[in-house]
Amino acid sequence: MTDTNARAARLTATQPIGVATAKRAGLFARLLHAWEVRRALRDVQSMDDRMLRDIGLSRGDVESAVRGDW
C-alpha cells in the first residue's frame, strides 16, 4: 500500500467516529440550550408584575421574550 493509499484508508476508517462525535456534540448543544431556556424562563417568571413592567414585559410576553421570538 502506498503512503497516499494508507493515509486515505486511515481517514476513511476514522470518519464514522468523527460523524458520531459531531452528532453527540450537536445533541449536547441542543440539550444545553434547552436547559438554559428553561432556567431563564423560571427566573423571569418568578418576577412580580411590577418588575416585568419595568423591563417592558407583561406576563404573557415572558416565554416569547426568553425564547427570542420577541
The domain locations on the chain are 3-67
The 3-state secondary structure of 2-69, one letter per residue: CHHHHHHHHHHHHHHHHHHHHHHHHHHHHHHHHHHHHHHHHHHHCCCHHHHHHCCCCHHHHHHHHHCC
Given this model, what pLDDT does residue 34 score? 95
**Cell numbers placing 50:** 411590577
pLDDT digits (tens, 9 = 90+) for 18-52: 777 888 889 999 999 999 999 999 999 999 999 99
At residue 7, the pLDDT reads: 66
Higher pLDDT, 2 or 64: 64
